[in-house]
Chain A
Amino acid sequence: MNNDLQFLELDKKATVPVTFDGQRLNLPDGENLAAALLAAGIQTFRHTAKSGAPRGPFCMMGACFDCLVEIDGVVRQACMLEVEPGLEIARPSAGGGDHDPQ
């Protein structure tokens, strides 16, 4: 096991291939997407629209909106999604097309 990784995973689960910003990753099937991305070594999920500052998961319960990712053209909270085979995940483009739920 790679001790340089930020996170330890207790269980070994069957993985499925997904992509994150074009990078191929094997993530545990059905696992919380934000948790799976963190465990795979992804730290920056997006950059803020205003200053371009890096952000990653903060609350893990759907309240803070810092773990936003883009899937099929829709910006969504990674912590409220589960891993599915073939997901094409992108960092939401900073500045343009970012979240604006109002």
Chain B
Amino acid sequence: MTHSDIIVVGAGPAGMAAAAMAARHGATVTLLDEQPRPGGQIYRDVDRAEQQRIDILGKEYQHGATLTQDMRNAGITHVTGAVVWAIEDSFTVSYTQHGQAAQVSADRIILATGALERPMPLPGWTLPGVMTAGAGQILLKQSGVLARNAVLVGSGPLLYLIAAQMVRAGTPPRALVETQSRHDLLRAAKHFGGALRGSGYLVKGLKLLAQLVRARVPRYTGATDIAIEGGARAEAVTFRSRGRAQRIACDTVMLHHGVVPNTQAARSIDVPHLWDSAQHCFSPVTDPWGATPVDGVFVAGDGAGIGGANVAEHAGRISALKALQELGQISPQARDDLAAPLVRQKAKENAVRPFLDAAYPPCAQALAPADSTLVCRCEEVRAGDIRRYAKLGCLGPNQAKAFGRAGMGACQGRYCGLSVTAILAQENSLGPDDTGYFRIRPPLKPVTLGELASMHDNNAADAAE
């Protein structure tokens, strides 16, 4: 088994920046990532994107190439296509690559597992043709594939970004169906001063909106009663906006109402998580260095709380500095000197967040879905089923699994966990922290027996050497 000082999981902005910083100061670093090339979701395939695609995606996307370059120059071991499925024993990490399981070990681990789209259970959300806005962006970034007849549904700046990119590519969306209201914007106003201190995010947002107005993309705000119609595939989005019923025909629907930390890996090693009421999600408990209460475990980037790509990059470097100092590679003084400017930049990048969180709250309809709406996509469990379990005395998500398999499918609760917690919390008049979340156990991703057997062979070969 290969041993490194530090294992980083995830090659998005936080992971790439952490790995490069750690290696530059003398640590041996193994970076494990599921994708064939670095970038994470935000900078997906940035090294392969041709000029036309970069023109569509914008220069913020192109910035990712500086991170991939830095990481390569720093001299780390980047294991691509590596699906991590277990973290054990401070720390042995098991993963599968090209159908073969393998293990690596390290003294410190930095989890940079990023974000997932917030689950958005609406009628019809499981139909083919319905995908997350993030999926729409991945299709564009990695493959240059764009939906011709899409309706974008939900709330948040990502919807404006992808809509503007679609306009630039010549395939503007049919409409934006936005769930936030003017009331939300008024409530967000108190955070406006803070947002202005941020790095021009508000200006960027207004520019995106101006592009949508010029392209005459219809925007409906305060949308309620949203449903996706269709039999074998999505055919239309229906909703109410300003007192009127609307129906827009389309074949692609992109859903988004914010992203939430991907907590699977951290939960699997018992990192405690707490409810973040501003961001409506669970986040791991971390100190300003990204260190968790579990010795040697750091969480950096969106996995530690949503801040976006630039915040993630700084957070990755900050966690790497603390790990370096703990390993004796740098002194506490050097750690603090190197971290100080990064902490300042991170705070500046984060300044817009309270405004965004308030102006674009999650879609209320998706937080409290109708009884007939599917909540668990894998096991096809409906919101009404979860409410029925609550009436039978079910207090928490793990009990709900036993009642009706919610969260027991292949995605392991990634796209129903927060919904199940929210519904049980509402029904039982408890808070999210008291209601809790699914217990996450390895394997974090499916492993075949053949893959496991191949690991045994590899370990035997190691021992024979």
Chain A contact residues, CB within 8 Å of chain B: 3, 5-11, 31-32, 35-36, 38-39, 43-45, 48, 50-51, 53-66, 68, 74, 80, 82, 99, 101-102
Contact = CB atoms under 8 A, between A and B. Distances in A.
Q: Name which of B135, B171, B233, B251 has the most chain A CB atoms within 10 A of its CB.
A: B135
A54 B169 contact: no
Given A43-B128, A53-B126, A101-B446, A35 B149 contact: no
10 contacts: A10-B145, A11-B50, A11-B144, A44-B232, A51-B380, A55-B128, A57-B135, A58-B132, A59-B116, A65-B378
A12 B193 CA distance: 47
The DSSP consensus for interface residues of chain B is: loop
A44 B148 contact: no
A61 B146 CA distance: 17
Contacts of B52: 10-11
A65 B143 contact: no
Given A6-B147, A7-B147, A39-B145, A50 B132 contact: no
A79 B24 CA distance: 33
Given A56-B129, A60-B138, 13 more contacts: A8-B170, A9-B143, A10-B53, A35-B142, A35-B145, A57-B131, A58-B415, A59-B132, A60-B132, A61-B135, A66-B126, A82-B36, A101-B446
Contacts of A58: 126, 130-132, 135, 377, 415
Given A48-B380, A58-B377, A6 B252 contact: yes
A41 to B, nearest CB: 11
Q: Name which of B127, B128, B447 has the most chain A CB atoms within 10 A of its CB.
A: B128
Interface of B: 34, 36, 41, 50, 52-53, 56, 83, 116-117, 126-132, 134-135, 138-139, 142-149, 169-171, 232-233, 251-252, 262, 377-380, 408-411, 414-415, 443, 445-448
B117 A59 contact: yes
Given A10-B144, A54-B232, A63 B116 contact: yes
